[in-house]
Amino acid sequence: MAKEKYDIVTDPIGFVTVEPKPSREELQAFYRDLYYQDESARPLTYKDRYEPLEVEHLQLLASLSLYAICAARPHWKEQPGTLLDIGCGEGFLLEQANAYGFSVTGIDFNSHAIASFFPHLEARLRTGDAFEILEKMSTSGEQYDVITLNNVLEHVIDPRELLKLIRQSLKPGGLAQIFIPNDYSPLQMKALELGHIDRDFWHCPPHHLNYFNAENLVKFVESSGYRSLDLYASFPIDLYLFHPGSNYVADSKTGKDAHQARMHLDLLMAEAGLDRFHRACQGLAGVHLGRGITILAEPVA
């Protein structure tokens, strides 16, 4: 499944995808190989531990997610509902949502990551292929107030089918919150145009099969039967590509410093309050900046 075998295709909605798509079996085999290395059975996609700064930053991002969710449905501040996190990883969002009062469920490929950080939530986890689990939920009529996807939509063979399954799994009045990398963004394309980078470093099939940005994500979600309620961005770390001293694509040794700076600056902005931090992130999305984009949407009846 080498990168060279894939062609870049622009969907009529505007997002970029690749052809030919791998089969579900090929993709499952790819992720089995990615998650485990030989006989060590050690997942490679998540860390076993984080430095304190990283933990604080991950907790902040989870807090921001919950803030946006409750801002869209204020009654959940007093009466939290049910929350399903697809691709829950280490479980930082599940942990905060659980502490807030939501009844939480997670889906991930295996339980290693969440067992390493929040073992008390392992019983709330369903492991395996997310599509297969959602299909069973849809058949059984199982529904949730909130369904979140963090770095999932870019990995799947059929993102439209995934949003359809999520829509079927939402209770009336429910919300979907989707985070994606902001790829083929105006900032990235300008960096290419000016020669600050020599390649589309974000293009990495079969790991990522779909590439969305701040503009076409809204169109895609709304074309899939949802109404967009909120759009906000993560820190625009791609700005560092425009200075030779911090260009982490030209010199990978600067990547750690760029990531450290991003975390410190996010935490500094959040000191002004989550409401102001949220508005700042909305402003970034409004001008199509941010390394990642989060959309909050509700199904259209």
Can you tell me the distance from the alpha carbon of 99 to that of 122, in angstroms, rounded to the nearest whole number?
15
Name the one residue in this structure whose structure tokens are 């939501």. 102
Residue 44 burial (CB < 10 Å; 0-12/13-18/19+)? exposed
Mean pLDDT: which of 29-33, 49-53, 252-256 is highest? 252-256
- Residue 44, pLDDT > 70, answer no
- 272-279 contacts at long range (C-beta below 8 A, 24 or more positions apart): 274/63, 274/64, 274/67, 275/67, 277/64, 278/64, 278/67, 278/68, 278/71, 278/232
Report the chain's mean pLDDT, rounded to a whole number. Answer: 93
Containing 218, the helix (H) or strand (E) segment is helix 214-223
Domain that holds residue 120: 3-235+280-299
87-137 tens-digit pLDDT: 999 999 999 999 999 999 999 989 999 999 999 999 999 999 999 999 999
The answer to the question of residue 15 being in a domain is yes
Q: How confident is the model at residue 4 (pLDDT cuts 50, 70, 90)?
A: low
Residue located via tokens 């030919």 = 20
Nearest to 72 by CA among 297, 245, 241: 297
What's the number of domains the chain is made of? Answer: 1
Rg over alpha carbons for the chain, rounded to the nearest Å, is 19
Residue 41's pLDDT band (cuts 50, 70, 90):
very low
Average confidence (pLDDT) over 139-164: 96
Residue 261 lies in a domain: no
Residue 172 CB-density burial (10 A; 0-12 exposed, 13-18 middle, 19+ buried)? exposed
pLDDT 10s digits, 152-177: 999 999 999 999 999 999 999 999 99
Q: Which amino acid is at 141?
A: G
Give just the sign of the alpha carbon dihedral 80, 46, 7, 250: positive
What pLDDT, on the 0 to 100 scale, is given for residue 40? 42
**pLDDT at residue 35, rounded to an integer:** 60
Q: Residue 148 sits in a domain of what CATH number?
A: 3.40.50.150
Do the beta carbons of residue 229 and residue 298 sit within 8 Å?
yes
Q: What is the DSSP letter of 15?
A: -
Whether 273 is covered by a domain: the verdict is no
Residue 130 lies in a domain: yes
Residue whose structure tokens are 């209770």: 171
Query: What's the one-letter identity of residue 273?
Result: G
Residue 247 has pLDDT above 70, yes or no: yes
Number of H helices, E strands in the chain: 10, 10
**Band of the pLDDT at 281, cuts 50, 70, 90?**
very high
Q: Which pairs with CB-CB distance under 8 Å and at least 24 residues apart come from 159-163?
A: 159/210, 159/220, 160/224, 161/131, 162/130, 162/131, 162/134, 163/221, 163/224, 163/225, 163/226
DSSP state of 46: S
Nearest C-alpha neighbor of 86 from the set 174, 169, 23, 18: 169
Distance in angstroms (rounded) separating the CA atoms of residues 108 and 131: 11
Q: For residue 271, is it within any domain? A: no
Asked if residue 163 lies in contact with residue 210, where contact means CB atoms within 8 angstroms, the answer is no
| The length of the chain, given as a count of residues | 301
259: in domain: no
In a domain, 141, yes or no: yes
Of 151, 166, 169, nearest to 65 (Cα)? 151
pTM: 0.93
pLDDT band at 37 (very low <50, low <70, confident <90, very high): very low
* Residue 43 clears pLDDT 50, i.e. is over it: no
What pLDDT sits at residue 3? 57
pLDDT value for 39: 37
The reply to whether 257 falls in a domain is no
